[in-house]
């Protein structure tokens, strides 16, 4: 299995072509005694069976680049020959993101369309030359950051006839300037999370933006998808953090100065945030930064049930407390968290057992329904102490108990490792992915109940044992984000099954008065529900913006909403990966024929996924 890091522009590193993260890094369960029993309980997969191995890249058939020799020569002259490639593996790395749909397709060699050339510009001037030349050639540009997207924002449209450029901004990775008097930093858009944070911390600052994808995503990608980080309660979402921008467009450089507030008509900055590359190429962002806090702690709490945890988070949002993280998992996600823990021994095991007895015998809890919460505190010692006191009183009022710093330290250390679980389960015949949303506080319980009911109905329809769990995070004055994880053991039609479950959950959000996405974006995956979310008139306004600013459909066409005149394809949700490569080659894991028939019948009822390949 080759490593795509050797097939990139100068100094640019990418994730492995077939999964999340770095080569040689993976999730292991052997030192976590509770994990295999939990997975068997949740979705019926025996983790001790031999996993399916990923095929060698050489065995995969990749469509030939459609870039002509003259085209390659022209663009290589802009960035340098070493920073322009039509190499198969580089083009595959730049074709998809990292959703379960993406991973199933890439492992199966399902490439209806790949980029024809990958370019690595060194600076904004080279980006401008590329944009001008691409417009003149009527080519397509898809901006690429870290490749972590999970809603189909990166893949070329299946029926795109024009030459497709994947414009990788990985060489634009520097913190350019820090305005210490204003707490603002100019940072190039291709800087990945660890790199930009390292540069800021070296000068005593932090961005404070830590999404799950932090280790493999970029500042430009965060802006383009309207990202949220784990500490958004204190630092805000990326829409709050990003104050100024530079965006390369055919008519010049769109420059937005970092003004604190202005009354200058509709907010152009807000148009760029969440635009998923459709309005141009973001090359630089000026962001709010903060001095490294004197103290930072994450404390774990337990609540007797989900309703108590939800009510506590709501009260915290209305209180004078200013925590950086307010997160509570439901009972299912709590069980998984405990299942991923290493075995306790000696005094630690005795304490853990004693605490469980205390909760059951003294507090009267049903520990099968208890919910784990992490709340973060940052700032001076006095502020942290005051916030912990305010939050502690609220937790107590809702029947919760403080666990302490230990679990919080582990959470902080492992918070970016969760995506590796997606690969781990795929290797063993399981499909797992996420859907996230937000809604007002008054609707959150209904949204939660609706998603669970919809997922269970979908599992029954396709005849599988499935699992869904959730946590609340990103609290606001008027509501919060709910983040759902779902999983099931797939048969030989994993994508058709996935679409049924994913569609059911997304539709439940609309039915419950929630949004189709809080921070992952729209892409191709969520586009079928956009009109139901923002209204037909809202879509018309957005379409008018895209038509007026990009009449040729140069920039990432078809994402968010369909680009006029571009054939999106109509293959929709019934995607079928070849059984030999997409599912474990074991008869025991092949669903009965009646389950496959149910999958096909149910697939016809799901919304069409715009732009999907046949």
Catalytic residues: 483
Coil, strand or helix at 388: helix
CA distance 308 to 96: 40
Long-range contacts of 265-272 (CB under 8 A, 24+ apart): 269/242, 269/243, 269/244, 269/245, 270/239, 271/545, 272/223, 272/245, 272/247
- CA 465 to the chain's CA centroid: 25
Q: Which two tokens stand for residue 259?
A: 């003004």
Euclidean distance between the first and final Cα of the chain, in Å?
27
Per the CB < 8 A criterion, the answer to whether 133 and 554 are in contact is no
CA distance 30 to 32: 6
Per the CB < 8 A criterion, the answer to whether 247 and 232 are in contact is no
Q: Where are the beta strands (DSSP E) in 174-294?
A: 175-179, 184-188, 205-206, 242-249, 252-256, 281-288, 290-291
Coil, strand or helix at 164: strand
**β-bridge pairing 84-85 and 140-144:** unpaired
CA distance 445 to 538: 27
**Partners of residue 302 on adjacent β-strands:** 372, 401
Largest separation between any pair of C-alpha atoms in the chain:
77
Coil, strand or helix at 476: coil
Helix axis angle, 444-462 to 494-511, nearest 10°: 150
Q: Which two tokens stand for residue 220?
A: 């430009």
Per the CB < 8 A criterion, the answer to whether 481 and 519 are in contact is yes
- CA 30 to the chain's CA centroid: 27
């Amino acid at each position: 299995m080759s490593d795509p890091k050797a097939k990139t522009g100068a100094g640019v590193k990418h994730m492995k072509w077939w999964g999340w993260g770095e080569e040689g890094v993976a999730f292991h369960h052997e030192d976590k005694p509770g994990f295999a029993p939990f997975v068997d309980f949740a979705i019926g997969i025996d983790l001790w069976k031999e996993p399916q191995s990923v095929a060698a890249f050489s065995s995969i058939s990749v469509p030939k680049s459609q870039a002509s020799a003259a085209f390659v020569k022209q663009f290589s002259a802009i960035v340098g020959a070493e920073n322009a490639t039509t190499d198969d593996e580089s083009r595959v790395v730049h074709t998809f993101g990292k959703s379960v749909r993406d991973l199933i397709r890439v492992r199966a060699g399902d490439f209806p369309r790949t980029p024809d050339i990958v370019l690595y510009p060194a600076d904004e001037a080279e980006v401008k030359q590329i944009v001008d030349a691409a417009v003149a050639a009527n080519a397509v540009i898809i901006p690429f950051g870290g490749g972590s997207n999970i809603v189909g924002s990166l893949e070329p449209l299946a029926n795109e006839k024009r030459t497709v450029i994947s414009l990788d901004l990985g060489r634009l990775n520097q913190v350019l300037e820090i305005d210490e008097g204003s707490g603002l930093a100019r940072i190039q858009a291709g800087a990945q999370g660890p790199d930009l944070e390292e540069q800021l911390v070296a000068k005593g600052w932090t961005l404070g933006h830590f999404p799950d994808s932090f280790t493999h995503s970029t500042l430009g990608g965060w802006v383009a998808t309207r990202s949220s980080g784990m500490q958004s309660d204190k630092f805000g979402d990326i829409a709050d953090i990003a104050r100024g921008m530079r965006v390369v467009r055919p008519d010049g450089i769109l420059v937005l100065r970092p003004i604190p507030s202005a009354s200058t008509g509709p907010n152009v900055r807000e148009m760029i945030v969440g635009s998923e590359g459709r309005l141009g190429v973001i090359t630089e962002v000026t962001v709010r930064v903060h001095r490294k806090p004197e103290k930072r702690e994450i404390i774990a709490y337990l609540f007797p049930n989900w309703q108590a945890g939800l009510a506590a988070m709501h009260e915290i949002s209305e209180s004078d407390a200013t925590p950086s993280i307010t997160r509570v998992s439901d009972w299912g996600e709590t069980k998984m968290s405990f299942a991923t823990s290493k075995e306790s021994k000696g005094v630690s095991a005795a304490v853990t057992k004693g605490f469980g007895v205390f909760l059951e015998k003294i507090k009267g809890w049903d520990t099968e329904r208890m919910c784990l919460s992490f709340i973060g505190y940052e700032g001076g010692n006095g502020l942290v102490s005051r916030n912990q006191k305010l939050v502690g009183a609220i937790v107590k009022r809702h029947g919760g108990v403080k666990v302490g710093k230990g679990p919080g330290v582990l959470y902080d250390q492992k918070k970016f490792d969760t995506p590796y679980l997606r690969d781990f389960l795929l290797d063993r015949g399981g499909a797992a992915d996420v859907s996230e949303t937000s809604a007002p506080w008054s609707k959150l319980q209904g949204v939660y109940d609706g998603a669970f009911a919809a997922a269970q109905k979908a599992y029954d329809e396709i005849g599988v044992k499935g699992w869904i769990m959730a946590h609340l995070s990103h609290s606001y004055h008027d509501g919060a984000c709910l983040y759902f994880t779902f999983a099931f053991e797939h048969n030989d039609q994993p994508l058709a099954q996935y679409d049924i479950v994913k569609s059911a959950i997304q539709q439940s959000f609309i039915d419950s008065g929630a949004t189709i996405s809080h921070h992952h974006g729209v892409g191709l995956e969520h586009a079928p529900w956009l009109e139901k979310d923002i209204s037909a008139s809202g879509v018309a306004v957005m379409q008018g913006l895209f038509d007026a600013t990009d009449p040729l459909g140069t920039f990432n066409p078809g994402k968010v909403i369909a680009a006029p005149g571009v054939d999106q394809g109509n293959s929709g949700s019934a995607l079928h990966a070849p059984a030999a490569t997409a599912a474990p080659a074991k008869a025991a894991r092949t669903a009965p024929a009646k389950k496959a028939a149910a999958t096909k019948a149910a697939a016809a009822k799901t919304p069409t996924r715009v732009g999907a390949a046949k």
